[in-house]
Structure 1
Amino acid sequence: MDSIVARLRDLEESLDSVACDAFDGEVIPGLSDADVAELLALSGRIQRRVEALQVEATVQVGDRSAGLREERMTTRYGCSKPVDLVRMLTGTDTRAATRLVRAARLVRRDV
């Protein structure tokens, strides 16, 4: 079975191809109203699924960044706080990273 990371890499390549095709020429402006609406709906559903994966991964960042400083995931990546690591890895701003960290705290399951 492929790992989730490998499957997401494949998805990224597919999305990259779709995006390149969409912005090459007049593809999106040439869509019908129904297709534009469906494009927005589909991309929104994809975005929510990606955000769910980011929240779950952020749970792991938080869990793996507790304990002794030398053993923390944040320390291994040169960051002092989970929000800094999430911001760096997702390429987002502090506000978006903070939102992910807060969501991760809310959904974290005690094991």
Structure 2
Amino acid sequence: MARTAIAAEAINSQTTRTPTFTAAIADGHMTINDGSTFLRVRNTDASPKTVTVLIPSTLAGVVAANGGRQHTIPANTGDVTIGPFPPDYTQPSDGRIWWDYSAITGVTVAVLKVERNK
């Protein structure tokens, strides 16, 4: 299995949205990044999990060789929002942000994008 793309769901002040959560996969996920994209990650497992957002270059003291910026998702109904992501997080090969999971049991993710009102 390869890294899989998740489409971002648009949100704004004129809509009410219940995010669509996707099960985490061992090879990680990716999505288009326009600077207004963020992740919402849930963990229902008894153990905390780590989500690592990969960084293609040095960013705010985090060197890409170290993997990226890590975020802990608490055990038992942990619900964490990560982002939005500046352009520095975008992978130059495909214009997306990539993230990995320390483990996938009980982990789901939704990708949301803030959209300006029309």
- TM-score clears 0.5: no
TM-score, normalised to structure 2, is 0.23
- Which structure features the higher share of strand residues? 2
- Which structure features the higher share of helix residues? 1
The higher relative CO (CA closer than 8 Å, separation ≥ 6) is in: 2
TM-score, normalised to structure 1, is 0.23
